[in-house]
Structure formats: C-alpha cells, structure tokens
C-alpha cells in the first residue's frame, strides 16, 4: 500500500508541475500580448484556457481518488491537500491570464502609448508576477521553506505599482480624453496582475505549510503534539 500511494503522489506532483508550466506560459503570453497588442497571441491564450480548466478538473479528480483509495494520513495528507489548494490557485491564475489577454483583443488603439506604459511600470509588473510564480515552483521542487517565504516580499512590489496606477491614468485621461476607455480597461489589467500576486502568495503559503509539517514529522516531535500543530495550522492558515 505504501509503495502504491508513493507512486500516486509522485504522479500528482508531476501533474501539478504540468499545470504550473501551462499557467506560466499563459501569463507570459498574455503579458506579451498586452504590451504589443498582439491579438493573435491573445487569441492563443483564450484557446489554451480550456486546457487549463480541463487539467484542473483532472487533478481534482485524482486527488479525490487518492483520498478515497489510500486514505492518506499525516504528511501524505498534508501534501495531497496542499496540491489541491495549489491546483485551485493555479486555475485562478489561468483565469487572470485570459482576462489580461482579452484586453489586447478588445483594445481599439493601434498601439499603446509607450511613455505611458513605461510610467505605469506594466512590463515590470508582468515580469514580477512571472518571477514569483517561477520562485514558488522552485520552492516546491526543492521543498525549500526559505524560497517559499521569499515569495511574500516580492508581492509588495505588485501592490506598490498597482497603488499608483489610478492616479497616473486619471491624469492621462485629462490630457487624452479620447483614450479614456482604454485607460479604464488598463486598470482592470493591473488589478488582475495584482490579484495574481495574491494567489501566488497563497501557493507559497501552502508550500510552507506542507514543508513545515514534513520538518515536524522528522524533528522528534511527539505524534500528539504533531497532530495538534497540524490541526491548529489547518484552522488558522487560509
């Protein structure tokens, strides 16, 4: 039974990594589509979103099967539940990528004002989101608490950029009223990128929780104490 569940957990982790790569590429393409107003590239993101949704359902189903067939406990259960929550957050990131791509498809401008985009720090924000997602993936692969917790600080930059967007665009609209609709839609793009950071932070929290439980298991902490810690973290951590 132990060998069977170990092989299932390895397969589950591989599926999560596949989902991770898919969502990373979606965000990367969506960001590039917005910066260049490449509608063909944006359309590719919309088409691939169906793949993201299908893979999320597949992983959810596999998690249900593992719990039903193998009744995992302790660290194995923590791992399975962490993968379930990470899967949900990755799917939401896919939704945000789709929303960002739709801006490029619906935008009526032939090109975005390069000076405005630079002032808004849009490219910097996109790169930061991708950097956070890549760092969180590395944290899971290496089971590194240090890498996972370093994701949290990176989210501050997204909040900082997003906080300045409204004022910059409001000033731009006063000077260029013909671009008002595009500017309003751009606010939505920044909001989705900022929310992407929040979901990547959620993923990092799940990684920390999983690794922390694993460390406790091998640290000599008694089983009753270990169970109490896991229960308390389940209650107080989202």
Cα–Cα distance list, 202 to 21, 31, 71, 84, 99 (Å):
17, 21, 25, 12, 20
pLDDT, tens digit only, all 238 positions of the chain:
566 789 999 999 999 999 999 999 999 999 999 999 999 999 999 999 999 999 999 999 999 999 999 999 888 999 999 999 999 999 999 999 999 999 999 999 999 999 999 999 999 999 999 999 999 999 999 999 999 999 999 999 999 999 999 999 999 999 999 999 999 999 999 999 999 999 999 999 999 988 886 554 444 443 344 445 444 554 555 4
Q: Which two tokens stand for residue 134?
A: 């890549």
Fold of 2-236: Methane Monooxygenase Hydroxylase; Chain G, domain 1 (1.20.58)
Q: Give the start-to-end residue ranges of the domains of the chain.
A: 2-236
């Amino acid at each position: 039974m132990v060998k069977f569940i170990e092989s299932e957990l390895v397969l589950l982790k591989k599926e999560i990594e596949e989902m991770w790569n898919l969502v990373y590429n979606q965000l990367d393409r969506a960001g590039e589509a917005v910066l260049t107003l490449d509608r063909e590239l944006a359309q590719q993101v919309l088409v691939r979103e169906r793949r993201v949704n299908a893979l999320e359902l597949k992983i959810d189903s596999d998690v249900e099967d593992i719990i039903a067939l193998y009744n995992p406990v302790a660290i194995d259960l923590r791992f399975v539940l962490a993968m379930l929550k990470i899967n949900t957050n990755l799917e939401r990131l896919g939704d945000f990528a789709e929303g960002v791509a739709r801006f490029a498809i619906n935008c009526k401008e032939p090109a975005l004002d390069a000076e405005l985009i630079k002032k808004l720090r849009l490219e910097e924000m996109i790169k930061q989101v991708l950097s956070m997602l890549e760092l969180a993936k590395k944290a899971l692969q290496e089971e590194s608490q240090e890498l996972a917790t370093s994701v949290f600080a990176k989210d501050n930059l997204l909040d900082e950029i997003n906080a300045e967007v409204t004022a910059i665009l409001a000033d731009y609209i006063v000077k260029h009223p013909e671009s008002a609709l595009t500017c309003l839609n751009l606010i939505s793009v920044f909001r989705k990128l900022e929310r992407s950071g929040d979901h990547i932070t959620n993923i990092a929290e799940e990684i920390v929780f999983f690794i922390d439980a694993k460390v406790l298991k091998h640290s000599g902490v008694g089983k009753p104490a270990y169970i109490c810690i896991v229960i308390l973290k389940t209650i107080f951590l989202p």
